């Protein structure tokens, strides 16, 4: 098994480098939205002294950490995979003795992510010099404690995106369904606004959804802003969602492949 | 010993959406789609023993590729059963996928952006081929297909023929017991075709693999297969020795002549004139195989002939003709 991943890594890593110009454009595009939120909230907090107790620095550190956490927990499965179903190139992969989505696509996504992080690092440093965040509340233990949450967030997001991408077996409109999923993430993962500023109702809903593990929960753990019971609760919610996402993914995938092979691969 | 491939009453019907052109029809089809049933394969049965090399023939659209896709597991049939190496192909069991290969003549085993060498190493990992076995197989493939000069170029920069060689090699690295080959020599020049044939024959001899292949080239089939299966419009039309087939349906040759002056001669006196789009300079006639010598010598003495060729009719024509007549 590790041999497969090692080779897949070599191949995908080499492939990513072929598209480095694309990648830089992608990063710049992706940066726009969090930086706008950062700028907007920071200026509101500066003007008012604070927003519901959050200072300008709280917003800056929140969004600076978000840039990295979002990069770590997000994925590009829809772009790697959906078209293969539609143009039939998936056929070649289906008759190989490995799971296309859980091996080659996964490694492809991780290779993309790694290169992204390399490109992002200097940009991030420039942004730190520009916005001058004070990372006082960030501790090593907070960072260590957030790592499992980030991993869990990545896996859940991967399986849910994978499930949505698998809808390509039935419909050509997967891209718009995925856009909707992305909108849910913006709202419930705490990208528009840190979740604690949301109305009580939405906060309560968000607590039981998987999306907070994609950004809000790890960021708050890193910043040391969550009490232990909230962290425990977040982890339990995450593990349950992981189990659910895995089950749903397997089911949708299996039925999707059946359908693909029924209509003419 | 039970046969390696058993196919019973295998059928595949595609539901194809259809609509007229134009805006009105587009709107109507948005609300109510109409489908047409296309019977690609109808109740086909045959079985193939271990080590056999069988040519699978039929005109375009006869259902050859559909059958190969079902046998390799890519397609669910709408009816019937198939068993290959003890597996039901479309269950896509890992052990089955590890022991067969499907070469479709398109890019599907090689990654477009990287050199074939890297795709080969990936295949080694995917199929869990031990290092020494991999080296041995690669060496054999390299001897027969001369892969070495192609290995380091990105696949997108290879010619069609070069890519085909690499595709076939990539599909055989794991030494499959069953090979489904769809047009394995398409796009190759004559010597390339011959090399692939020789290679497949040798592979079959060494490994005892079972091979089912489709081809447009009669030479592929005559060189490799003792047995052929013909399907036409989704139905099995012939299953048996190749010798019997040529006696039964292909006792014809094509004579092509290039004349010094093209008008004024009536070639239909010598045989049935036929069109050949690939070679418009020559005039072709179809003649019974037994009459070829007689007719050629008559033509040579009667006509101002620049050039003359005697060839087998294309396999598709033979089959098409045999079943339309």
Of the candidates B275, B232, B297, the one whose C-alpha atom is nearest the C-alpha of residue B44 is: B232
Of the candidates B324, B254, B257, the one whose C-alpha atom is nearest the C-alpha of residue B286 is: B254
CB A150 within 8 A of CB A69: yes
In a 13 Å sphere around the CA of B134, the CA atoms on its Cβ side amount to: 14
Q: Which residues of A touch B38 (CB under 8 A)?
A: none
pLDDT band at B262 (very low <50, low <70, confident <90, very high): low
Q: What is the pLDDT of residue A264?
A: 67
Closest in A7, A91, A262 to B121, CB measured: A7
Query: Is the confidence at residue B90, as pLDDT, over 70?
Result: yes
C-alpha torsion sign, points B234, B240, B243, B244: negative
Beta-carbon contacts of A5 under 8 Å, excluding residues fewer than 6 positions away, are A103, A107
pLDDT band at B322 (very low <50, low <70, confident <90, very high): low
**Domain co-membership, B85 together with B185:** yes
Q: What is the pLDDT of residue B279?
A: 67
* Structural domain range at position B265: 250-324
> Is residue B30 in some structural domain?
no
pTM over 0.90: no
- What is the distance in angstroms between the CA of the first residue and the CA of the last residue of chain A? 28
Query: Is the confidence at residue B249, as pLDDT, over 70?
Result: no
**Domain co-membership, B143 together with B73:** yes
Q: Which residues of B touch A258 (CB under 8 A)?
A: 76
Give CA separation, B259 vs B98, B119, B287, B297, in Å.
Answer: 56, 51, 18, 15
**Domain co-membership, B109 together with B165:** yes
* pLDDT tens per residue, range B2-25: 899 999 999 999 887 776 677 777
**Domain co-membership, B132 together with B256:** no
Q: What is the pLDDT of residue B139?
A: 92
Instruction: Give the CATH number for residue B305.
Output: 3.30.70
- Asked if A4 lies within 8 A of B126 by C-beta distance, the reply is yes
Residue with tokens 């927003």: A51
Q: Which residues of B touch A14 (CB under 8 A)?
A: 113-114, 118
- Asked if A261 lies within 8 A of B114 by C-beta distance, the reply is no
Mean pLDDT (whole number) for B79-99: 94
Q: What is the pLDDT of residue A155?
A: 97
Q: Which two tokens stand for residue A140?
A: 């090593």
Q: What is the pLDDT of residue B155?
A: 87
User: What is the rounded distance in angstroms from the CA atom of residue A44 to the CA atom of residue B95?
Assistant: 61
> Is residue B23 in some structural domain?
no
Q: Which residues of A touch B122 (CB under 8 A)?
A: 7-8, 10-11
CA distance A175 to chain B (A): 19
User: What is the rounded distance in angstroms from the CA atom of residue A75 to the CA atom of residue A57?
Assistant: 29
Q: How many of the other CB atoms lie within 10 Å of CB of B35?
A: 10
How many residues are listed for chain B in this entry? Answer: 325
Which of helix, strand or coil describes residue A66?
helix
Instruction: Give the CATH number for residue B225.
Output: 3.40.50.300
**Domain co-membership, B158 together with B268:** no
User: What is the rounded distance in angstroms from the CA atom of residue A237 to the CA atom of residue A152?
Assistant: 10
Q: What is the pLDDT of residue A214?
A: 96
Q: Which residues of A touch B74 (CB under 8 A)?
A: 91, 94-95, 261, 265
Long-range contacts of B274-280 (CB under 8 A, 24+ apart): none
Residue, of B189 and A83, whose pLDDT is higher: A83
Q: What is the pLDDT of residue B99?
A: 95
Which of helix, strand or coil describes residue B103?
strand
Backbone angles phi, psi at B213, to 5 degrees: -130, 150
**Domain co-membership, B220 together with B95:** yes
Q: Which two tokens stand for residue B101?
A: 């290969």
User: What is the rounded distance in angstroms from the CA atom of residue B224 to the CA atom of residue B52?
Assistant: 10
Q: How many of the other CB atoms lie within 10 Å of CB of B121?
A: 19
pLDDT band at B62 (very low <50, low <70, confident <90, very high): confident
**Domain co-membership, B309 together with B223:** no
* pLDDT tens per residue, range A63-108: 999 999 999 999 999 999 999 888 888 888 888 999 999 998 999 9
Mean pLDDT (whole number) for B50-78: 90
CB B314 within 8 A of CB B279: no
CA distance A265 to chain B (A): 6
Q: Which two tokens stand for residue B295?
A: 């007719």
CB B108 within 8 A of CB A89: yes
Q: Which two tokens stand for residue B66?
A: 């559909």
**Domain co-membership, B212 together with B185:** yes
- Asked if A11 lies within 8 A of B108 by C-beta distance, the reply is no
Q: Concatenated DSSP letters for B218-277?
A: HHHHHHH-SEEEEEETTEEEEEEEHHHHHHHH--EEEEEEEESS-TT--GGGTSEEE--T
Number of domains in chain B: 2
Of the residues B247, B262, B297, which one is the last residue of a structural domain? Answer: B247
CA distance B97 to chain A (A): 5
User: Helices marked H in A19-96 — which ranges?
Assistant: 20-48, 56-73, 77-87, 90-94
Full strand arrangement of the beta sheet holding B100-103: B100-103, B178-182, B210-214, B53-57, B227-232, B235-241
Closest in A8, A94, A257 to B122, CB measured: A8
**Domain co-membership, B255 together with B231:** no
Q: What is the pLDDT of residue B17?
A: 75
Of the residues B247, B274, B292, which one is the last residue of a structural domain? Answer: B247
User: What is the rounded distance in angstroms from the CA atom of residue B145 to the CA atom of residue A265?
Assistant: 30
Query: Is the confidence at residue B244, as pLDDT, over 80?
Result: no
Cα nearest neighbour of A94 on chain B: B74
Query: Is the confidence at residue B100, as pLDDT, over 70?
Result: yes
> Is residue B206 in some structural domain?
yes
Q: What is the pLDDT of residue A150?
A: 97
CA distance A156 to chain B (A): 26
Q: Which two tokens stand for residue A22?
A: 């694309």
User: What is the rounded distance in angstroms from the CA atom of residue B104 to the CA atom of residue B102?
Assistant: 6
**Domain co-membership, B169 together with B287:** no
Characterize the bridge pairing of strands B252-259 and B283-288. antiparallel
CB A107 within 8 A of CB A9: yes
| Segment (H or E) for A16 | helix A2-18
Residue with tokens 């039939």: A88
- Asked if A15 lies within 8 A of B111 by C-beta distance, the reply is yes
Q: What is the pLDDT of residue A46?
A: 92
Q: Angle at CA B261, nearest 5°, toward B256 and B265? A: 70
> Is residue B36 in some structural domain?
no
User: What is the rounded distance in angstroms from the CA atom of residue B212 to the CA atom of residue B219?
Assistant: 15
Q: What is the pLDDT of residue B106?
A: 59
**Domain co-membership, B148 together with B94:** yes
Q: What is the pLDDT of residue A1?
A: 63
**Domain co-membership, B237 together with B255:** no
* pLDDT tens per residue, range B135-179: 999 998 888 888 899 998 888 888 877 888 888 899 999 999 999
Q: Which residues of A touch B127 (CB under 8 A)?
A: 97
Strand partners, B203: none
Q: Which two tokens stand for residue B311?
A: 């060839």
Strand partners, B288: B252
User: What is the rounded distance in angstroms from the CA atom of residue A39 to the CA atom of residue B54?
Assistant: 70
Q: Angle formed by the axes of helices A174-188 and A140-166, to 10°?
A: 160
CA distance A228 to chain B (A): 44
Mean pLDDT (whole number) for B278-285: 76
Characterize the bridge pairing of strands B100-103 and B178-182. parallel
User: What is the rounded distance in angstroms from the CA atom of residue B137 to the CA atom of residue B121?
Assistant: 12
User: Which regions in chain A score pLDDT beneath 70?
Assistant: 1, 264-265
> Is residue B20 in some structural domain?
no
Residue with tokens 């339990």: A236
What does pLDDT average to over chain B? 85
> Is residue B266 in some structural domain?
yes
Strand partners, B255: B285, B310
Residue with tokens 């592979």: B203
- What ranges make up the beta strands (E) of chain A? none
CB pairs under 8 A between A and B: 72
Of the residues B199, B220, B247, which one is the last residue of a structural domain? Answer: B247
């Amino acid at each position: 098994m590790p041999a497969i991943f090692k080779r897949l890594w070599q191949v995908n890593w080499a492939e990513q480098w072929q598209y480095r110009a694309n990648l830089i454009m992608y990063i710049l595009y992706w940066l726009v939205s969090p930086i706008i939120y950062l700028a907007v909230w920071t200026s509101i907090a500066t003007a008012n002294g604070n927003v519901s107790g959050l200072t300008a620095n709280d917003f800056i550190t929140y969004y600076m950490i978000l840039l990295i956490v979002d990069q770590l927990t997000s994925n590009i499965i829809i772009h790697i995979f959906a078209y293969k179903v539609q143009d039939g190139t998936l056929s070649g992969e289906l008759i190989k003795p490995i799971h296309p989505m859980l091996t080659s696509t996964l490694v492809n996504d991780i290779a993309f992510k790694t290169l992204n992080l390399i490109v992002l690092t200097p940009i991030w440093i420039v942004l730190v010099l520009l916005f001058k965040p004070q990372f006082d509340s960030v501790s090593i233990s907070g960072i260590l404690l957030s790592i499992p949450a980030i991993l869990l967030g990545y896996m859940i997001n991967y399986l849910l995106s994978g499930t949505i991408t698998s809808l390509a077996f039935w419909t050509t409109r997967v891209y718009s369904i995925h856009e909707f999923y992305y909108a849910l993430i913006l709202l419930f993962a705490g990208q528009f606004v840190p979740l604690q500023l949301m109305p009580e109702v939405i906060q309560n809903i968000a607590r039981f959804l998987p999306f907070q593990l994609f950004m809000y929960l790890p960021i708050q753990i890193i910043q040391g802003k969550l009490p232990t019971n909230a962290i425990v609760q977040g982890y339990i919610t995450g593990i349950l969602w992981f189990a659910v996402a895995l089950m749903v993914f397997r089911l949708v995938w299996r039925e999707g492949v059946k359908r693909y092979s029924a209509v003419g691969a | 010993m039970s046969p390696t491939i058993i196919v019973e009453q295998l059928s595949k019907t595609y539901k194809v959406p259809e609509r007229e052109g134009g805006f009105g029809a587009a709107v109507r089809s948005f609300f109510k789609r109409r489908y047409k049933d296309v019977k690609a394969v109808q109740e086909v049965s045959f079985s193939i023993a271990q080590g056999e090399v069988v040519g699978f023939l039929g005109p375009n659209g006869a259902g050859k590729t559909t059958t190969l896709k079902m046998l390799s597991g890519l397609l669910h049939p709408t009816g019937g059963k198939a068993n290959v190496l003890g597996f039901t192909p479309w269950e896509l069991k890992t052990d089955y996928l590890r022991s067969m290969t499907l070469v479709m003549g398109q890019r599907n085993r090689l990654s477009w952006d990287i050199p074939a060498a890297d795709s080969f190493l990936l295949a080694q990992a995917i199929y869990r081929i031990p290092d020494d076995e991999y080296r041995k197989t690669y060496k054999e493939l390299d001897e027969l297909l001369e892969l070495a000069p192609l290995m380091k170029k990105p696949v997108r920069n290879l010619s069609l023929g070069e890519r085909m060689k690499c595709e076939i090699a990539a599909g055989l690295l794991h030494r499959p017991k069953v090979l489904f080959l769809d047009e394995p020599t398409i796009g190759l020049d004559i010597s390339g075709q011959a090399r692939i044939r020789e290679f497949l024959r040798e592979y079959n001899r060494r490994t005892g693999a079972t091979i089912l292949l489709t081809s447009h080239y009669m030479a592929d089939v005559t060189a490799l297969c003792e047995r052929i299966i013909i399907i036409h419009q989704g139905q099995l039309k012939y299953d048996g020795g190749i010798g019997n087939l040529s006696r039964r349906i292909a006792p014809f040759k094509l004579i092509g002549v290039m004349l010094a002056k093209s008008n004024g001669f009536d070639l239909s006196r010598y045989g049935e004139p036929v069109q050949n789009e690939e070679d418009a300079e020559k005039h072709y006639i179809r003649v019974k195989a037994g009459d070829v010598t007689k007719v050629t010598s008559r033509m040579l003495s009667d006509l101002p002939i620049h050039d003359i060729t005697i060839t087998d009719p294309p396999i598709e024509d033979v089959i098409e003709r045999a079943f339309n007549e």
